[in-house]
Amino acid sequence: MTIPDYQSIMLPLLQLAGDGKEHTKREAVAALAEHFTLTDAERAELLPSGRQGLFDNRVGWARTYLKQAGALQSVRRGVFKITARGQELLAREVAQINNDVLDSYPEFREFRARTRVNEPSPEGGQVRPVIAESVSALTPDEQIRTGYRSLRANLAGELLQRVQNASPLFFENLVVELLVAIGYGGTHEDAASVVGRAGDEGIDGIIKEDRLGLENIYLQAKRWKQSRTVGRPDVQQFAGALQGQRARKGVFIATSSFSRDAIDYAKGLQTTIVLIDGQQLAELMLDYGVGVSVQDTIKLLKVDEDYFEEE
The domain that holds 239 is classified in CATH as: 3.40.1340.10
pLDDT value at residue 224:
87
Q: Tell me whether residue 301 is in a domain.
A: no
Residues 240 and 203 in one domain: yes
Claim to verify: residue 272 and residue 173 sit in the same structural domain: yes
Instruction: Decide if 67 is inside a domain.
Output: yes
311 belongs to a structural domain: no
Considering the domain architecture, whether residues 160 and 172 belong to the same structural domain is answered as no
In a domain, 14, yes or no: yes
* Lowest mean pLDDT across 85-89, 137-141, 161-165, 230-234: 137-141
Distance, CA of 263 to CA of 265 (rounded, Å): 5
- Among residues 165, 196, 225, which one ends one of the domains? 165
Residues 161 and 173 in one domain: no
Give whichever of 93-107, 183-197, 292-306 has the largest mean pLDDT. 93-107
* Alpha-carbon span 219 to 207, nearest angstrom: 8
Whether 84 and 153 share a structural domain: yes
Residues 23, 111: one domain? yes
Give the predicted TM-score (pTM) of the model. Answer: 0.64
Regarding whether 218 and 149 lie in a shared domain, the answer is no
CA dihedral of 58, 62, 63, 67, whole degrees rounded to 10:
150
Let me know whether 150 and 176 are in one domain.
no
Same domain for 129 and 207, yes or no, is no
* Residue 284 forms part of a structural domain: no
Per-residue pLDDT tens digits for 90-139: 999 999 999 999 999 998 888 777 644 444 444 443 333 333 344 445 55
Q: 193-225 as b/e, with b when 16 or more CB fall inside 10 Å?
A: ebbbebeeebbbbbbbeeeeeeebbbbbbbbbe
In a domain, 309, yes or no: no
**Looking at the predicted structure, is the pLDDT value of residue 140 above 70?**
no
Does residue 154 share a domain with residue 27? yes
Measured between alpha carbons, how far is 306 from 304 in angstroms, rounded to an integer? Answer: 6
Same domain as 176, residue 119: no
Work out the average pLDDT over 251-261: 93
Which residue, 165, 196, 222, sits at the end of a domain? Answer: 165
Same domain, 157 and 177: no
Decide which of 103, 136, 165 is a domain's last residue.
165
pLDDT band at 244 (very low <50, low <70, confident <90, very high): confident
- Domain region containing 127: 6-165
Tally of domains within the chain: 2
Burial pattern 251-280, b for ≥16 Cβ within 10 A else e, equals: bbbbbbbbeeebbebbeeeebebebbbbbb
With a pLDDT cut of 70, the percent of the chain lying above it is 82
